[in-house]
Amino acid sequence: MAHAPEIRDKLRRLYVLDRLSLEVAAMQCGVSMSTASRWKRESTEAGDDWDKLRAAHILAGGGIENIARAALSGFMVQYQATMEALQVDPDTPAEKKVSMLASLADSFNKTIAASKRVLPETSQLATAMDVVQKMAMFIRENYPQHTAAFVEVLQPFGDELAKLYG
């Protein structure tokens, strides 16, 4: 199936400028991951390296604080996309969702820890996310029958945390 050039341009923009993962950008453009990978590879071979442009775009924003904020912002976009993907997939068992959420929370904590030295305002959000991660593990280990309910309320609660601390 041939795609309009505008779709390829949109994919490039979402990946380079909006810093979405290639998978999420492909999904938003309605193309397969293999097509997105092929377009990215062909562009690189033609001298248009999307990864280098993506890095340059982040660095062009200015000082170290802006770079740290851009990295944190990029992670949050990925975090949100993953949360949405978990919610819309009814075939994923609740236990697997909780495990994936715990892994995502761990990645979040590591990202926050890396930016905390540059951006002290992230400390409150890191503490809140650590509590949520510990609660997920507690529920999984002690109340596994409640994992589905926990997964159901986690997304809106995460949005509230982001409003309060983000």
Say if residue 32's pLDDT is above 90: yes
The pLDDT confidence band at residue 43, using thresholds 50, 70 and 90, is very high
Written as six digits, the tokens of 106 are 């761990």
For residue range 65-118, list pLDDT tens digits in order: 666 777 777 788 788 788 877 777 788 888 888 888 888 888 888 877 777 666
- DSSP secondary structure letters along the chain: ----HHHHHHHHHHHHTS---HHHHHHHHT--HHHHHHHHHHHHHTT--HHHHHHHHHHTT-SHHHHHHHHHHHHHHHHHHHHHHHHH-TTS-HHHHHHHHHHHHHHHHHHHHHHHTT-TTHHHHHHHHHHHHHHHHHHHHH-GGGHHHHHHHHHHHHHHHHHHH-
The pLDDT confidence band at residue 11, using thresholds 50, 70 and 90, is very high
Say if residue 119's pLDDT is above 80: no
Mean pLDDT of the chain: 81
Which of 61, 56, 46 has the alpha carbon at shortest distance from 8? Answer: 46
Cα 67 to Cα 71: distance, rounded to the nearest angstrom: 6
For residue range 74-85, list pLDDT tens digits in order: 788 788 788 877
Q: Which position has the higher pLDDT, 98 or 145? A: 145
pLDDT above 70 covers a percentage of the chain that reads 85
Q: What is the pLDDT of residue 148?
A: 84
CB 101 within 8 A of CB 153: no
Q: What is the pLDDT of residue 42?
A: 95
